[in-house]
Structure 1
């Protein structure tokens, strides 16, 4: 028997209503945070309105404004299975079920419609934030003292539990369970929800840190292998990992409605409800601040590169990713900034050859990333159907143009490398510079293979991450390293 069924079994007569809280209880999220995030995603330049509404008009007004201007997509927010089971058991027993929430009425009514069979809703309206004592007074006025059972999940629900007949709780940790049972010995814990450390780590997307290995390019190409240079590059790597995770957290929080309807992205920690969205906001701020504090031990140019990287990623998350071709230029730029940041961390001047090579190569990789997403989206398309990439400015018809664009950019990087062979810089760094020509066919092979894999829908991740985990790509990289070694 489920915890929900056990909780329902002995609650008494069938005419006593069951009242269910929303945030953290019925849903695995919080409607206020969800609404605020979608408001920011839609109106990033109006972020100042959130504190303005809160401190000048109050929390109830803030929720009303957000419900009018932001859509948290109620239909996609994950429900808590144990609470839904509790509701279904009560309905099967003939008991009326109500939803009581501090969220705005429009959102609560939409949630009630989604759940089905709800007798009525109580919500924030008319300037009254329906939480804590205000919720308790409202329910007592409706059902009488001890005239209802209530299921909640937070300390703010204690006044409501004191007025209810039976205390039913969703516990988000062992300490909270003990506090509830200490105050209400007969309380029933209908569900226990704990944030698992591995889910928090997964939200940071550590597999994407592989892209930050690009900061070591300056170390390798400049032949700076001393201890100080190695330590500087490692510090730069850590800074970019922290900044990148901060950006990924923000991007995931803004993309929640779209991620939740995606077959793969719906399993992400925030989209699935495994990690509360507030955790993401706090972690993003801590990681961004930590990255900049750590960067102060490196040259100022590196801190500037890190700042540009973070500003671009935020602009990308809020707006630029929906702009056709601009998103590709930005993605390519984000790859390149890692390289330039690595050079800046060593205190070396930026070379025009590295600038040109990075421009072409990383634009090519940004295009192949979009091509992979479009190719995956194309699978299962019905004849005559025009599919678009959700949240992006492309349709599958653009593949016929993007593939040539990407290949041209990739081969352009090889051309720049070939020109570099004739520069005096090569003679200064290598004893046998002519041997470096062997790298050109290796680059042509690798770039061509990446586009073929993308066309076959076999490139399911970021191309840089894929290259660092793909055996053939690693073997190609080893061959490039061997050529560099015999050219010294």
Structure 2
């Protein structure tokens, strides 16, 4: 969330005596995130027992005690925080001029000092201790205890800052124009506005990864290849199942981004994701998770028990992936591949279509190739921009040859499986001319070898799955494959 200063703000500050200090808030003001909220959610994924203990501190001790406990056990890194560049630039400029700058925050004391030591701008730091949560009037009293009756500039971002904004001679507020107007009305005096761009629908859509929903067209694959082996009235149920899988996938994407927030912030491109960049607040994220959960329950209620169990298995395996298998080389792509197969199984179940073990094996090996390719693209050059201390995975650039071998071996194995399938005795009940299916082999091999070739030429630099879905070649090959399957059936 980029912050834009009013044009007259610099001039206004220049007109204020250098003896007037700046007191600046941290969460939501200097940074576009909330240190404690992020750290607590991070503990849920990394140290769930300690996260439960932190919540018990809130219930039976105090929020201050919980904050200190979380700060001790979190993987907090001040250098990776999403700082608001214009606020930071202002503070650097005023620091060079010799103006006193104080960091006053409700964040835990250890985190506040980490930020202060990293930036080197603050003459004093006041923050939450085990005895007191430095928020609202507590913060106001602490500031006045340091400054006495001196005038000061205070930069805040929430209604909790109103007592300090009332006390400050020069109140400044970080927020949208609408929020600034509301704060000015509450205070009954003018407020120096630090305007930020309001959250837009596209920010939520980006976090939901709507473009990734195309993967869930796999739910429709049995309908596309079945050619009348199912009841037409079940088609509506298939689309409901696909939508349910889309919503479930978005739910998982949010959890993944919360778990990987520090890794993403250390990554050259992933640091721009809505959660890592602070474009969406923790409140926004929790609200989205709540809505998605309601949607999952409503859509699941429209399907039978078997379909619900498949989706529940999908969600459960994704949580296991996020918590454990994502960190383990090879295991991660094996599990990811099975998650693709679950989409196909869901479509088959809803249509009440039988599944051939050969067909599923053929698909699994092709999906394993795609999963290996995805990791290959991510780690071939990307790890140069990722600090090893933050990466939770075992992969490094040295593993890319293994991923390359895994991908190519998988697709050749898939073709072998298809050849065996066309020679099996049970294929005649489904396909009248099964030998035509062998034409799938050159189509699949050509597509796969082409994509690896393009990757080696560095023509693929982002998510390879999206590269496949939006490639004209892919759709041409897909239509040809459907034509082959149809020809084998008639």
Instruction: Give the TM-score, by structure 1 length.
Output: 0.91
Count of residue pairs the alignment pairs up: 483
Q: Quick one: which of 277, 296, 300 aligns to 1:295?
A: 300
Name the counterpart of 2:57.
53
Please give the secondary structure, in 2, of the residue aligned with 1:174: helix
- 1:40 and 1:468, CA in 2 relative to 1: closer, same or farther beyond 3 A? same
Name the counterpart of 1:467.
468
Name the counterpart of 1:410.
411
Q: Matched residues in 1 for 2:71 and 2:184: separation? A: 32
Q: Quick one: which of 357, 370, 373 aligns to 1:365?
A: 370
Please give the secondary structure, in 2, of the residue aligned with 1:189: strand
Name the counterpart of 1:258.
263
Instruction: Tell me if the contact between 1:299 and 1:344 (Cα under 8 Å) persists in the aligned partners.
Output: no
Q: Quick one: which of 40, 46, 50 aligns to 1:42?
A: 46
Q: Matched residues in 1 for 2:388 and 2:46: separation? A: 23
Query: CA offset at residue 214 of structure 1?
Result: 0.7
**Are 2:330 and 1:325 aligned?**
yes
Instruction: Tell me if the contact between 1:250 and 1:281 (Cα under 8 Å) persists in the aligned partners.
Output: no
Q: Quick one: which of 22, 32, 38 aligns to 2:26?
A: 22
**Are 2:402 and 1:401 aligned?**
yes
Q: Matched residues in 1 for 2:310 and 2:221: separation? A: 15
Q: Quick one: which of 118, 143, 158 aligns to 1:139?
A: 143
Query: CA offset at residue 53 of structure 1?
Result: 2.1
Query: CA offset at residue 319 of structure 1?
Result: 2.4
Between 255-264 and 130-139, report the one with greater CA deviation: 255-264
Q: CA RMSD in A?
A: 2.5
Query: CA offset at residue 146 of structure 1?
Result: 6.0
**Are 2:100 and 1:99 aligned?**
no
Q: Quick one: which of 116, 122, 133 aligns to 2:120?
A: 116
**Are 2:483 and 1:482 aligned?**
yes
Q: Matched residues in 1 for 2:173 and 2:366: separation? A: 55
Q: Mark the runs of 5 or more structure 2 residues left unpaired by the alignment.
A: 1-5
State how 1:195-234 maps to structure 2 within 5 Å: 195-224=199-228, 227-234=232-239
Query: CA offset at residue 486 of structure 1?
Result: 2.6
State how 1:254-403 maps to structure 2 within 5 Å: 254-377=259-382, 390-403=391-404
Name the counterpart of 2:3.
none
Q: Mark the runs of 5 or more structure 1 residues left unpaired by the alignment.
A: none
- 1:6 and 1:196, CA in 2 relative to 1: closer, same or farther beyond 3 A? farther
Q: Matched residues in 1 for 2:309 and 2:278: separation? A: 35
Instruction: Tell me if the contact between 1:367 and 1:406 (Cα under 8 Å) persists in the aligned partners.
Output: yes
Please give the secondary structure, in 2, of the residue aligned with 1:169: strand
Please give the secondary structure, in 2, of the residue aligned with 1:100: strand
- 1:146 and 1:15, CA in 2 relative to 1: closer, same or farther beyond 3 A? closer
- 1:4 and 1:35, CA in 2 relative to 1: closer, same or farther beyond 3 A? farther
**Are 2:443 and 1:437 aligned?**
no
Residues 315-342 of structure 1, C-alpha deviations (whole Å, 9 max, x = no match): 2222211112111111111111111111
Query: CA offset at residue 92 of structure 1?
Result: 4.5
Between 142-151 and 20-29, report the one with greater CA deviation: 142-151
**Are 2:169 and 1:165 aligned?**
yes
Name the counterpart of 1:31.
35
- 1:166 and 1:378, CA in 2 relative to 1: closer, same or farther beyond 3 A? closer
- 1:46 and 1:158, CA in 2 relative to 1: closer, same or farther beyond 3 A? same
